[in-house]
Every structure is written in C-alpha cells, then in structure tokens.
Amino acid sequence: MKVDDRYLELAVAAAKEAGRIQMRHFGHSHPVEYKGEFNPVTEVDRLCERAIVRMISDAFPEHDILTEESPFEGKGSPWRWIIDPLDGTTNYFHGFPCFCVSIGLEIEGDVKVGVVYIPTLKELFHGQKGKGAFLNGKRIVVSEIDRLNRSFLCTGFPYDVHEHADFYLRYFRQFLTKGFAIRRPGSAAIDLSYLATGRFDGFWEFKLHPWDVAAATLMITEAGGKVSDLEGRPYDIYSEEILASNGLVHEEMLQAIREINGERKEHSA
C-alpha cells in the first residue's frame, strides 16, 4: 500500500501541536494519577492525546488509533496510528526537560511513518519506510563505533523494577562493565531517536509498549541501525523486549546477553 506524504505531514503537525501543549504547561504543578502503583499520568498527557486524536480523526476518520492513555477500539482498518502523547511523564511533572511526543503509522502491520518531537530542544525526528530518517530535515545515520567497550549505551527500567530489581540490574551490570558508559534519560522514544542519529550506540530494555517504540525503531533501521529482540530474532513492536544498536556492536551485545542467560541457567540448575 502506497505511503501518502499527507500521513507524514499530519504526524508532524500533530506532534508539534502536542509539543506546544507540553511547553505551555511545563514547569507548572500538575496533579498526578497513577495507573498501577508507579505508572503516572497527568492532565497534560490527556490534553496532548485529545489534540492528536482529534487531528487524525478529522483527517482520516476510517483509521484506527492506538494510544497510551485510552482503551483501543479498533475498526479493523489496515491503517493504525500508534501514539505516545507524552513520553517521559515522570520527567515532565518533575520539571526535568527530557520528554517528547511519539507518533507512528502502521500500515498492514508494517510501520511506514514515524515522528518524534522533543519540544524543549525543538528537535523533530522523522522517518519514512524506504526514504531515510531525518532530524530537523537533515538526513541522519547511526554511529560508526564498532566495539562494545567503546560504546555509549542507553537503557530504561520498567515500572515493575521495584519487584524485579535483581533481574534488571543483572543486565545493567553486564553492560556497565562491558560498555564504555550508560545513560538512563527516562524516555525510550528519545533514547531510540538519539541512537538513530548517532548519539548512542546501543540500547536495551524490557516491557516497552508499541507507542514507546513504533516511530523511533523505524528511524533506527532507516538510519542504518539494527533492531531485534534479546535473542537476535526479528523485532516486533508488540513484543516486550528490545535490543537496538548501530548494527556494528549488535552481535557483541547479544553475546553479553547470552552470558547473562547462561549464568541464570547455571544458578537455576
């Protein structure tokens, strides 16, 4: 199915509108609700979601929309917009300026368009399947670091980290010792977009959702990088684990994970 340029134009316009809403309210106090014990949501999340959904529904009323803050009510459309209206909510309501809007468009099961907008920096990332990835209109490519011990890595922790700290820290320790350095900014969509433009060399995380990854993983592959699950199998945005890299250190990262899994099997034997 042909990718219409109107889809990208709409995704960009919707992301910028959500970013405008975020900046208008940024730095103010926000009542916070929790979906579960540690998963926060603010009224700004909902304001951004409403604005994006309204723009998409007005333009393409037949399309499905999957978004973080609302139950999915599919129409059976081959077009599915996948939206995180405010990725980095915890950062946002604490006044930490690392948050974004993420909008992806999946057509017949394949993500064809992705936009990530970071309003504090006015950085607009976008990608189209087969057409490359861009930052503020300039083509981007992944880094050329080819050794894990020189790699600048990034990760995040799921909201259930308190119950499974030892499990997640096993991976963190492994990459802390085998990589050059690790950062944990708190927005997967930003982390992955930064990998696409060469600021990070590798990324791993558990229990992400399609709205966290749909847009930015497209940009990584369009920028020459690689995305898989933690065993090296083809990546599915609906799976719960991800390994992404510039491609050059991917096998070393997989080997590091295999070592962890081997230790786990020895301990459980």
Distance CA 74, CA 27 (A): 35
Cβ contact 181:152 at 8 Å: yes
Question: Phi-psi region for residue 134, left (φ > 0), alpha (ψ -120 to 50) or beta?
Answer: beta
- Fold of the domain built from segment(s) 148-268: D-Maltodextrin-Binding Protein; domain 2 (3.40.190)
User: Tens digits of per-residue pLDDT, 140-197?
Assistant: 999 999 999 999 999 999 888 888 999 999 999 999 999 999 999 999 999 999 999 9
Distance CA 263, CA 128 (A): 40
Tell me which amino acid residue 137 is: G
pLDDT at 2 over 90: no
Helices (H), the chain: 5-25, 43-59, 89-93, 165-178, 188-196, 210-222, 250-268
For residue 196, which of 237, 227, 158 has the smallest C-alpha distance? 227
Cα atoms in the Cβ-side hemisphere of radius 13 Å centred on 174: 22
In the three-class reduction of DSSP (H, G, I as helix; E, B as strand; rest coil), residue 184 is classed as: coil
Sign of CA dihedral 36, 183, 241, 259: negative
User: Tens digits of per-residue pLDDT, 18-68?
Assistant: 999 999 999 876 666 655 554 556 788 899 999 999 999 999 999 999 997
- The pTM (predicted TM-score) of the whole model is 0.92
User: Tens digits of per-residue pLDDT, 191-230?
Assistant: 999 999 999 999 999 999 999 999 999 999 999 999 999 9
For residue 91, which of 160, 45, 52 has the smallest C-alpha distance? 45
Joined tokens for residue 154:
């990034």
For domain 5-139, give its CATH number from 3.40.50.150, 3.40.50.300, 3.30.30.60, 3.30.540.10. 3.30.540.10
Question: What is the pLDDT at residue 263?
Answer: 61
Q: Range(s) for CATH 3.30.540.10 in the chain?
A: 5-139
Question: What is the pLDDT at residue 158?
Answer: 85
